Structure 1
Amino acid sequence: MNKRRIPITTIIFLCIGGIAMVFPFLWMFSTSLKSGVDIYNISLIPKRTTLEAYKYVIENTKFLTWFKNSFIIASITTISVLFFDTLVGYAFAKLEFKGKNALFLIILSTLMVPTEMLIIPWYMMVNELGWFNSYWSLLFPGLSSAFGIFLMKQFFEGVPNDLLEAARIDGLSEFGIFWRAAVPLVKPAISALAIFTFLGNWNAFLWPVIAVDSPDIYTLPVGLALFSGEAYNQWNLVMAGATIATIPILIVFFIFQKRIIDGIHLTGLKG
């Protein structure tokens, strides 16, 4: 079978788009390697390469603490979302209980509420529970997601009921059926949900900047935003911090890029 040839105009536009996407990252990395006197040099290649900016950021700020906080928050929320959203998605897809459809519609309706409208209720809840300026304040909004529940429900509906009935006849408990029979069949969706959840929480800014006011609890985006104000026009320092903050995202992308592409296909085409 002959492969479809890609028009040259498409290739040109893709190359232009790729350069436009990559260039800011190259400029950021290049600036981070410049000394303070060279940061306004428009050349992409530094005249004198130095790691002074990285050394300053690591030694004179709480950058490593911010990095640790972001990693902890993103990891815990990802694990929580995977566990609870797969359980709830399975229940909605394969179990029968009173009010199931109405409850699912209520969960779906929360997707239409902008995050900005939830900030005040979250803030009031955090104050009432005494969680302000703690890990709990950063964690609780992301421990489960309506999108994850919807995604997992759609994929669990594709799991054959005959397979689950066979597992039930073999004496497996309902959780055993879920864990040993259903979950292995929806691993692509679980992988996609894990990637999107981790990256979303790693880059979160609006709620963390409101929920904490101690530098020891700042996440990386919040810490970098405040540090950029303190650094004033020392852009090499800001770019050094931003470059390090980008490393986990690049690692996730290069390792799981096929999963990311599959996830986009899955979330866009599965009905």
Structure 2
Amino acid sequence: MRTRNRINKAIMYIVLIALGLMFAFPFLYTLYTSFISMKFVNTLTSPANWTLDNYKTYFTNPAYDVQKWLWNTIVMTGIVVIGNLIINPMAGFALAKLEFPGKKIVYWIVVATMMVPYHMILIPVYVNMAEIGWLNTYMALTVPFLYQALYVFMLRQFFISVPGEFIEAARIDGLTKMGAFWRVVYPLARSSLITMSILAFAGTWNSYLIPSTLANNPEKYVLVVGLNSVKDMFFENTPMIMAGVVLTTLPILVFFFIFQRQYIEGVSSAGVKG
């Protein structure tokens, strides 16, 4: 019996490793290709032939400003993630634990907005940004995205599971409702908040359509938009293209691997309740 269990476990590990390698291969190929020159493409070569020239070209060529695009991406992503960490939990907590007129209507409006693709409201957003003079600014790239209906819904589901006694005890100790939220309830949502942060980080960092629509000045390009604007210069240079892919993908992978345990816990605790 033990031998059979060991065999089954070994088979399971082999299958999981094979699946892991299969899904990791495209990125590993991209990473490897970004470190070689054009003459070694589609061949295996020793590390002695690897080079950082492809990345140096991006950061030193005066024809484009990758440093600026990278900084714009960091600023935009940081503001959006921080804004979502503040606004979405407050909205989710209000819908889960507070009583106010029209609460159910507000909740169903939030749910309904989850079903509307952002592409459908992109033109109205563009018109609004143009009318208030925010085009080609950080405000246009961040303010409309500080709130996300999906994350409000997800956090509401978590806050419903928080015992009301915690809030009542905090109120007895002299805290206001906001104080009870920030000092008692908010820390309990750590896993859900990290899950939301990873999703918001990935969605914002790799966003192309919205930044390219709201900012057409190269000075305000984000990394994805900027690299796409110069891709024709390297159309036949596969290593340069792969280096650009790594620049846009690697930060997301690093962010995920740092918080992967909390991400899994957050997904597990975000089931539909109430």
User: TM (normalized to structure 1)?
Assistant: 0.91
Confirm or deny that 1:165 pairs with 2:168: yes
* Alpha-carbon distance, 1:145 to partner: 0.7
Contact 2:205–2:248, Cα closer than 8 Å, also in 1: no
d(CA) in 2 for partners of 1:56 and 1:241? 11
> Secondary structure, in 3 states, of the residue corresponding to 2:219?
coil
Aligned residue-pair number: 266
How far off its partner does 1:85 sit?
0.8
From 108, 114, 131, the equivalent of 1:128 is 131
Q: 1:8 deviation in Å?
A: 5.8
Report % sequence identity.
36
Matches within 5 A, 1:1-271: 10-39=12-41, 42-45=42-45, 48-60=49-61, 61-267=64-270, 269-271=271-273
Distance 2:23 2:69 in 1: 26
Q: Is the 8 A contact 1:67 1:245 kept in 2?
A: no
Question: Conserved in 1, the CA contact under 8 Å of 2:192 and 2:267?
Answer: no
Partners of 1:126 and 1:45 lie apart in 2 by 50
In terms of mean alpha carbon deviation, does 13-22 or 256-265 score higher?
13-22
Unmatched segments (≥5 aa) in structure 2: none
What's the Cα RMSD here? 2.0
**2:206–2:248 CA contact under 8 A, matched in 1:** no
Q: Is the CA contact 1:69–1:218 (under 8 Å) kept in the aligned structure 2? A: yes
Deviations 1:175-226 (A, max 9, x none): 1111112112221111211121111111111111111111111111111222
Shift of the alpha carbon at 1:10? 4.6
Q: Is the 8 A contact 2:235 2:241 kept in 1?
A: no
Letter of the 1:171 counterpart: G
Paired amino acid for 1:245 = T
**1:127-158 superposed Cα distances (whole Å, 9 cap, x missing partner):** 11111111111112211111111111111111
**1:126–1:132: 8 Å Cα contact kept in structure 2?**
yes
TM-score normalized with structure 2 length: 0.90
- The gaps in structure 1 that reach 5 residues or longer are none
Deviation at 1:165, TM superposition (A): 1.2
